[in-house]
Amino acid sequence: MNIDISSPYIDTTTANDPIQIRLVGGTSATEGRVEITRNRTWGTICDDSWDIQDANVVCRQLGYDSATDAFSNAYFGQGTGPIYLDDVTCFGTETALSQCLASQWGEHNCRHFEDAGVRCYGELLKKQELSPTVFEVFESMSH
């Protein structure tokens, strides 16, 4: 299998290139393994330094209020695609995962048994289909 996991031109700290997120393998829509993509191939996040601050950003980007838990060790099962992010470091104030620090896109020292997961809290207030631009407008209007 030829998996394109390294793209040196992508800076994971650049918010102009949003990361799409979905949750897989949970018992409800609010929880699951975090799967992400920028090019339609879904991949996972390594649990190295994965914590509640990172989970909060994922949940907020999905439209929830916050996270209640961050899960390690493929709690929601192992993914099968590329492992895109490792050593994710969010401070908790970011509105999107692409604004957090992390290792270079596709660079990691992990296996899928380390896939990261989250459980989110709150009503899904914002539609996931909204484009990032619309999303930002919506947020600034609500303040």
The residue from 51, 65, 107, 136 that contacts Ca ion (CB under 5 A) is 51
The residue from 54, 94, 114, 115 that contacts Ca ion (CB under 5 A) is 54
| Nearer CB in complex with Ca ion: 43/135 | 43
The residue range among 11-19, 31-39, 51-59, 124-132 that interacts with Ca ion, by the rule CB under 5 A, is 51-59
Rounded Cα distance between 44 and 117, Å, is 9
Closest CA to 38 of 81, 67, 2, 78: 81
Residue 59 Cβ vs Ca ion, minimum distance, rounded to whole Å? 14
Rounded Cα distance between 49 and 78, Å, is 18
Q: DSSP H helical segments within the chain, as ranges?
A: 52-62, 132-141
Closest CA to 4 of 57, 41, 48: 41
Binding residues among 84-143 for Ca ion as defined by CB under 5 A: 86-87, 89, 109
Residue 101 Cβ vs Ca ion, minimum distance, rounded to whole Å? 9
- Which residue in the shown chain puts its C-beta closest to Ca ion? 48
Rounded Cα distance between 108 and 94, Å, is 22
The residue from 20, 37, 49, 72 that contacts Ca ion (CB under 5 A) is 49
Residues that bind Ca ion (CB under 5 A): 48-49, 51, 54, 86-87, 89, 109
